[in-house]
Amino acid sequence: MNHLAANEAVLLPDSGTDFDAAVQQMEIALPTAALRRTQGNKAAAARLLHIDGQRIKYLCRKYALH
């Protein structure tokens, strides 16, 4: 199995996946990682994620991220 196929198998197992749950997991995991890397600085985290400040604030409220 090549690298691309292996990544695809992780993202989309043969049994399928719940798209909305997967998106929600990413909406939590990516901002959490960015906030951790920036010691909680939302503006810096937004820059890392290439999103605007309002969106990071929204995600933090939506998922109670700190």
Q: What's the pLDDT score for residue 61?
A: 97
Residue 58's identity, in one-letter code, is: Y
Question: Which residues in the chain show pLDDT less than 70?
Answer: 1, 5-7
User: Both tokens of residue 45?
Assistant: 């985290």
- Hey, what's the torsion of the CAs at 19, 25, 33, 49, to 10 degrees? 40
Q: How many CB atoms are closer than 10 A to CB 11?
A: 9
User: What does the domain layout of the chain look like in residue ranges?
Assistant: 15-63
**pTM for the full model?**
0.80
Residues 6+ apart with CB under 8 A from 52: 46
Q: What's the pLDDT score for residue 40?
A: 97
